[in-house]
Amino acid sequence: MDADTLVPLLLPLLAWPVSRFVAPRLPPRVAGWLLTGSSLVLAAASTSALLLLAFAGLSLIPAIADAGHWSPETLRNLDAVNVPVSIASGVVLVVLGGRLVRTGVRYRRWARQLSQELDEHSRDGGVVLLPGQEPVAFSAPGRGGRIAISSGMLAALSPKERCALLAHERAHLHLRHHLFLIAVTLSSTLNPLLRPLGTATAFALERWADESAATHVGDRGLVARAVAKAALAGRAPHAFALAATGGPVPRRVSALLATPASTSPVAMLGSALVLGLAALSAQTALDGASDLHDGIEIAQAAAPGQIPAALRAHHHGSAVRTSGWHTR
């Protein structure tokens, strides 16, 4: 198999440093969509490449070759299969599949436990007031979306800062940022090289919610103070949760206090580069599938008892001509 099949497995090494450079220079909404979309494409392409490599190795097994009516010897002679690489790809797929199942189970367990805990205080959507002095505030999907905030967090903020904090959490729910977070979490699970890209995406989502809250309250400085005080008073949220205390808070506060800058040509060029890397990864995976398909067709034609495709077509044409002659 062509070494190009390995390209989708290695492209994330180039994609994430470029993305981390580009993301802070783009509007948060654009950065959120760009990073999430590229993560999904890169993860899908790398997983497809592993599946192709593993299947290529399985195609040499006599029972599978007999079921597919192809010659494993022909595939081996065509250099369509690299057995050690195929075995390694199969092992990696098993490991990543286990990681994916574990992540799914962990998320389901966390979501169910969180829903049960919030239901103890309120089964309605909206804001759920949690008793206790520990400063906590986060948004949670389910039941139309809920915002949980503790008495301790309310006491740490002024009335206007509370409004800014709630606007931030409402933005997460309204913009469905939890779906973005799930997407990049699953992507980094399927390809651990994408984990830094997931961190950059989480930062972009928090910045997106910050800007939405600033637009809602009409005061960027107020949102910056609310975010800073909430982060100092509270603690980092759960990995599956979105909260105003998440991400690198000093960078977020600095961005809120600075005048929003227009998108620079360098950022636009970087965005095009990220999209190009994602497209190249997907295209290379498709080319690998096409090459394997072509090799299998050749191996099918060379299998014992199989008539090559060209001869089958010639035989079919001769039969049609003969049938027409007899008809006449």
DSSP character string of 104-145:
HHHHHHHHHHHHHHHHTT-SSSEEEEEPSSS--EEEE-STT-
Q: Which of 31-35, 151-155, 171-175, 308-312 has the lowest mean pLDDT?
A: 308-312
Whole-model pTM? 0.82
Query: What would the two tokens of residue 132 be?
Result: 């206790």
Written as one letter, the residue type at 130 is: L
Most confident of 19-28, 99-108, 193-202: 99-108
67-80 mean pLDDT: 71
* Higher-pLDDT residue of 172, 305: 172
Residue 173, SS3 per DSSP: helix
Three-class secondary structure of residue 263 per DSSP: coil
Confidence of residue 118 (pLDDT cuts 50, 70, 90): confident
Does residue 160 carry a pLDDT above 50? yes
Would you place residue 325 in the very low, low, confident or very high pLDDT band (cuts 50, 70, 90)? Answer: very low
What is the pLDDT averaged over residues 305-314? 48
Higher pLDDT, 117 or 20: 117
Region 118-133: mean pLDDT is: 84
How large is the greatest C-alpha to C-alpha distance in the chain, in angstroms?
Answer: 99
> Is 316's pLDDT higher than 70?
no
Calculate what percentage of the chain has a pLDDT beyond 90. 36
Mean pLDDT of 211-218: 94
Within 8 A by CB and 6+ apart from 27, the residues are 211, 263
Q: Which residues pair with 126 in a beta bridge?
A: 146
Give yes or no for residue 211 having a pLDDT over 90: yes
The pLDDT score that the predictor gives to residue 304 is: 65
Instruction: Tell me what the mean pLDDT of segment 145-153 comes to.
Output: 90
Q: How deeply is 200 buried, as exposed, middle or buried, from its count of CB atoms within 10 A (0-12, 13-18, 19+)? A: buried
Backbone angles phi, psi at 2, to 5 degrees: -60, 140
Beta bridge partners of 150: 130
pLDDT of residue 322: 39
**Average pLDDT for 249-271:** 83
**Per-domain boundaries in the chain:** 3-307
Average pLDDT over residues 297-310: 63
Query: pLDDT: is 316 or 16 the higher one?
Result: 16
Query: What is the C-alpha separation between 209 and 173, in angstroms, rounded?
Result: 9
Per-residue confidence (pLDDT) for residue 310, from 0 to 100: 46
Lowest mean pLDDT segment, chosen from 39-53, 85-99, 278-292: 278-292
At residue 109, the pLDDT reads: 92
Task: Please give the average per-residue pLDDT across 282-306, as a whole number.
Answer: 76
Q: Is the pLDDT of residue 326 over 90?
A: no
289 — pLDDT class (breaks 50, 70, 90): confident
Mean pLDDT, the chain, as a whole number? Answer: 83
Report residue 242: phi and psi, to 5°: -115, 130
Confidence of residue 252 (pLDDT cuts 50, 70, 90): very high
